[in-house]
Structure 1
Amino acid sequence: MAGVMDSVDQRTQLVGQNRMELLLFRLGGRQLYGINVFKVKEVLQCPPLNAIPGRSSVVRGVAHIRGGTLPIMDMNQAIGRNPLAEIDKCFVIITEYNRSAQGFLVRAVERIVNMNWGDIHPPPTGAGKEHYLTAVTEVDGQLVEIIDVEKILAEVSPARESISEGIVGQGIADRVIEKYVLIVDDSSIARKQIQRVVEAMGIRTVLKKDGAEALEYLQGLLSAGKHPHDDLILIICDIEMPEMDGYTFTAEVRNNSALKDLHIILHTSLSGVFNEAMVKKVGANDFLAKFHPDELASRVSEHILAAGDSHLLK
């Protein structure tokens, strides 16, 4: 399995080309699942697990790995199915999401495939609201389901979503009356987390589920004779999304003379392997690792205050 992960650190050249790589794995049956390689730190045979009191049932235990202690979550159980049996024969995918490392127990790990984000699509509309999918794709004629890991983590260990006192300056909301923030993220959980923070600041929001949908929205405003600068304060955009990733979305915005000056914050759970050079290359204004409500609110406040009497506040 080490061979599968040997070249993970060399894959940053895919960034900015609307491409990504999926690590394919299986849970309790024949269905294939995928996870972005950029979020994977290591794959290993499941080590001995130690039970911890008061744990969520999804957490099968903790493991001592590379000098640290990591919670190991049963991916099959996390999406509402039976716990995986014979865990000593299972594998653990160690990931880094939202500034912390965690392990996900899976039945088997298959291989890495190179994909274009354009070939990765949002879940079917008939999937309902309670599904755990963030996207789907097809590999060698077989459906691959990409699980919304942020949804799992939010259920197992909910993040604080309230803003600490004193973070938001006085009168911030008064400066942006009738204006809004555009939130772009494929995870419904992540969209809601960001939305709650921004709206707690007294600012309206518009939500889009991927870069393609957000770009179409902005182009639609232009076609209707409206300039996004008139009402749009800034854009908070995830990086990895189906159809069009955040890098490509940012580059498309910068290449449009009518949109190029929009303020874009790339807000992503790819904190451990993020390529800061790509942020500069595509022209994003800022980068923020998910998810910390105080830092998010602070960055939004800073931009509003820095705008002063510019077009944002007229």
Structure 2
Amino acid sequence: MAGVLDGVDQRTKLAGHNRFELLLFKLAGRQRFGINVFKVQEVIQCPSLTRIPKSNSVICGVAHLRGKTIPVLDLSLAIGLPPIKRGTGAYVIVTEYNRAIQGFLVNSVDRIINIGWDAVKAPPKGVGKEGYLTAVTKIENDLIEVIDVEKVMKEVMGAREEAADELIDAEVRGGNDHIMIVDDSLVARNQVKKVCDQVGVTCSMFKDGLQAWEHLAELVRDGNDISNYYSMIISDVEMPRMDGYTLATKIKNDPQMKDVYLVLHTSLSGVFNTAMVEKVGANEFLAKFEPDELIVTVQRQLKRHQQQYAQ
């Protein structure tokens, strides 16, 4: 795998063109899975791991890497498959999610492919809410499964989902406001909604950029003022069919939608380029998932919106 991830940061040029690069790997079995290269820092052969007493069984231990100590999770075990056999050439994919560095133990790493988000589909309906897939795509007639890492991280590492009570502004109540949440992860959508619920704001949730765009276009056809109808839009970046960059570009290039306040809310904090936010016209970037920062952002925009549209 030496050199396979050289120049990952250069790949940000794909952003905004509804394309991305997927690192393919295998767990326990022949099925191939994928992870966005944006989230990958490096791929290494499994190093010596130090066990953590009384830790979650999914955590294999910690690795000491470049002066840092990171947890290593058995990704196969985390999604209900047999555990990865260590000592047989297993690899660790070192990633950054939600401002934290962690490694995922996998059986083998295949290669990197360049693909359009429009070729990535939502998982089959039969998977249900308890499934760990966030998207699927076909490569060389093989079905590639993209794992809902937010769900894995929440179950294994845990996370505080509500903002601190002292941050809630009693003067800001969102009873007459409406927020759009766009994210392919059910866990992530519900996390954002839970924070919005703390200020009493109504939320509409969409599972990808195309679904959100079609909804917005229908509202415009019906004569709605989008910036009045929605106090703000909070959108993930990585989504099947249409990514958040493309959604933002389309919204901000539409004269009847461009004034709506748009926040890109993503776990791509490690390689996120501020210039990219400006390029697609988003109003703000917020790294996942910090409920205190999210509620501050939501309340600040609710104040602006309520002042702007005060009767």
Q: Shared topology, TM-score over 0.5? A: yes
- The answer for the alignment partner of 1:97 in structure 2 is 97
CA contact (8 A) 1:46 1:105 kept: yes
Instruction: Indicate whether 1:184 and 2:182 are aligned.
Output: yes
Q: Please, which runs of 5 or more residues in structure 2 have no aligned partner?
A: none
Deviation at 1:308, TM superposition (A): 5.0
Mapped to 2, the partners of 1:296 and 1:147 lie a distance apart of: 24
Matches within 5 A, 1:157-172: 157-172=157-172
Tell me what 1:60 maps to. 60
Instruction: Give the secondary structure class of the aligned counterpart of 1:41.
Output: strand
How large is the Cα RMSD of the aligned pairs? 1.2
Deviations 1:22-67 (A, max 9, x none): 0000011111100000000010000011110111000011111111
Q: What pairs with 1:35-46 in structure 2 (closer than 5 Å)?
A: 35-46=35-46
Count of residue pairs the alignment pairs up: 311
Separation of aligned partners in 2, 1:18 and 1:260: 19
1:1-314 paired onto structure 2 within 5 Å: 1-173=1-173, 176-307=174-305, 309-311=307-309, 313-314=310-311
Distance in 2 (alpha carbons) for counterparts of 1:194 and 1:87 = 40
| Rounded Cα–Cα distance in structure 2 between residues aligned with 1:195 and 1:54 | 32
**Unmatched segments (≥5 aa) in structure 1:** none
For the 8 Å contact 1:46–1:88, the answer to whether it is kept is no
Q: Report the Cα distance in structure 2 between the residues aligned to 1:11 and 1:76, rounded to whole angstroms.
A: 27
Distance 2:71 2:87 in 1: 14
Separation in structure 1 between the aligned mates of residue 13 and residue 250 of structure 2, nearest angstrom: 19
Q: What is the DSSP-based 3-state SS (H/G/I as helix, E as strand, rest coil) of the residue aligned with 2:269?
A: coil
TM-score (norm 2): 0.97
Moved over 4 A (4+): none
- 1:127, distance to aligned residue in structure 2 (A): 1.4
Rounded to whole Å, the distance in 1 between the matches of 2:134 and 2:8 is 22
**Aligned residue type for 2:86:** E
Paired residues of 1:44 and 1:92 also in contact (CA < 8 A): yes
Aligned residue for 2:218, secondary structure, equals helix
CA apart distance, 1:162: 1.7
Return the TM-score normalized by structure 1.
Answer: 0.96
Comparing 164-173 with 23-32, greater Cα deviation is found at 164-173
Provide the C-alpha distance between the structure 2 equivalents of 1:137 and 1:124, rounded to a whole number of angstroms.
11
